Amino acid sequence: MEKISRTKIADLMKREDFGATVNVKGWVRTRRGSKQVNFIALNDGSTINNVQIVVDLGSFDEEMLKLITTGACLSVNGVMVESVGSGQKVEVQAREIEILGACDNTYPLQKKGHSMEFLREIAHLRPRTNTFGAVFRIRHNMAMAIHQFFHERGFFYFHTPIITASDCEGAGQMFQVTTKNLYDLKKDETGAIIYDDDFFGKQASLTVSGQLEGELAATALGSIYTFGPTFRAENSNTPRHLAEFWMVEPEVAFNDIQDNMDLAEEFIKFCVQWAIDHCADDVKFLNDMFDKGLIERLQSVLKEDFVRLPYTEGVKILEAAVAGGHKFEFPIYWGADLASEHERYLVEEHFKRPVILTDYPKEIKSFYMKQNEDGKTVRAMDVLFPKIGEIIGGSEREADYDKLMTRIHEMNIPMKDMWWYLDTRKYGTCPHSGFGLGFERLLLFVTGMTNIRDVIPFPRTPRNAEF
């Protein structure tokens, strides 16, 4: 076959030099036609759109033609012509076809309309479907949006460690990292495991958040963000929790909680606008196939200011809803951690737009959050979104060394390996704020997918680490 340099289908669709000879490579989605002419829908992953390959059967070898089946990989040389019937502007009249990889009828993606559950079982192949192609292209584009947003505002991308020896944040939900022989653990007289001879000489785990190290960077470089994998061994089998997920964590020196809310709102809106601008075909596909309200929801989030409301006021609204006959699964009272049903009630039923809830009871929030004068609440902020509930969690940080230490003692936080964190408050402390956005929660919102397992290529959840 003549060697012609490959044109990606996404690029081919934009060309207008009809009559040019081109090469396309990709996987067969469908094949149909008559005894004389066949139409092959070829997809190479560069776009949701297939290119139609027109094959004049008389001009090709019969044995080769038999191998053009759903899932087969082809290289096609042909002439680019204007298309009338394919739904696209361009199609290719085949001159030469090479079968790069045949595909027999055991291929599981023969016909359309598989359930999402089944596709999760074949997560190694699901990127070849329209739906997952769209989701993973959007995932890439949202990662670019995040870097773009922070880079153009002078934030530095800071890499925090994945292996950590501090357990003050995620006690109870951390995955341990060890090279010890688990069948032969040395213990001291109290029964506690001796870690002296373990790889790091102490107990180590996978990080639940890059925030604490992010604060070290923010109090030096001013404005930073992290964007990396985080791990939580929480045994919550929900459509919004993964054991391994990606988190985006900006941290900014001199920002107070108001600045932090402004940043969060501007950031999410930037990302949603980016999806509309850069992923139009994929978003439209998901809108038409799964979620007819998707595009409208994206646009409505852009139009409106987010509601900003103290937790205490939010609880009053929820209590009034209960008094009015609304049924929640979990009880609601001042001091309760809000469940996703409560968050969604505020967003979807009551305000009908995103809500930033602030000033939570200190008992249900982390030790490092700035304490309010009332002695009861801390300067926390959660951004709550339609269909998702919490998409961002953040706060202004406690900058005062003594107040921070008091809180640490009150909460019995194990701080033996945290001297370095406390040094930020000891040496030139400053007001600062930050938040964490769950990348997959953002993807749930912009794709309209309803299960978080379907916006990450290879989900890790309790009892599931396949592929």
State how far the Cα of 435 lies from the Cα of 369, in Å rounded to an integer.
11
Tokens 């963000």, residue located? 225
Q: Which two tokens stand for residue 402?
A: 């003594």
State how far the Cα of 269 lies from the Cα of 288, in Å rounded to an integer.
22
What does each C-alpha distance from 205 to 184, 403, 411 come to in angstroms?
20, 28, 21
State how far the Cα of 458 lies from the Cα of 184, in Å rounded to an integer.
33
Secondary structure of residue 133 in the 3-state scheme? helix
Region of 48-56, 142-150, 391-399, 413-421 interacting with Mn ion (CB under 5 A): 391-399
Does 438 contact Mn ion by CB under 5 A?
Answer: no
Binding at 247: pick from Mn ion, ligand ATP, none (beta carbon under 5-8 Å per type): ligand ATP
Nearer to Mn ion, 26 or 170 (CB): 170
State how far the Cα of 396 lies from the Cα of 250, in Å rounded to an integer.
12
Region of 252-260, 290-298, 331-339, 392-400 interacting with Mn ion (CB under 5 A): 392-400
Nearer to ligand ATP, 234 or 423 (CB): 234
- Least CB distance to ligand ATP at residue 235 (A): 10
Does 391 contact ligand ATP by CB under 6 A?
Answer: yes
Answer yes or no: are the C-beta atoms of 397 and 433 closer than 8 Å.
Answer: yes
State how far the Cα of 364 lies from the Cα of 378, in Å rounded to an integer.
10
Binding at 391: pick from Mn ion, ligand ATP, none (beta carbon under 5-8 Å per type): ligand ATP
Does 232 contact ligand ATP by CB under 6 A?
Answer: yes
Helix axes 130-151, 439-447, angle to 10 degrees: 120
Region of 2-10, 51-59, 303-311, 430-438 interacting with ligand ATP (CB under 6 A): 430-438
Instruction: Identify the residue among 250, 393, 438, 459 touching Mn ion (CB under 5 A).
Output: 393
- Least CB distance to Mn ion at residue 390 (A): 6
Q: Which two tokens stand for residue 363?
A: 């008992």
What does each C-alpha distance from 219 to 316, 383, 413 come to in angstroms?
37, 24, 23
Does 247 contact ligand ATP by CB under 6 A?
Answer: yes
Does 438 contact ligand ATP by CB under 6 A?
Answer: yes
How many of the chain's residues bind Mn ion (CB under 5 A)? 1
Binding site for ligand ATP (CB under 6 A): 232, 234, 241-242, 245, 247, 390-393, 436-438, 440-441
Binding site for Mn ion (CB under 5 A): 393
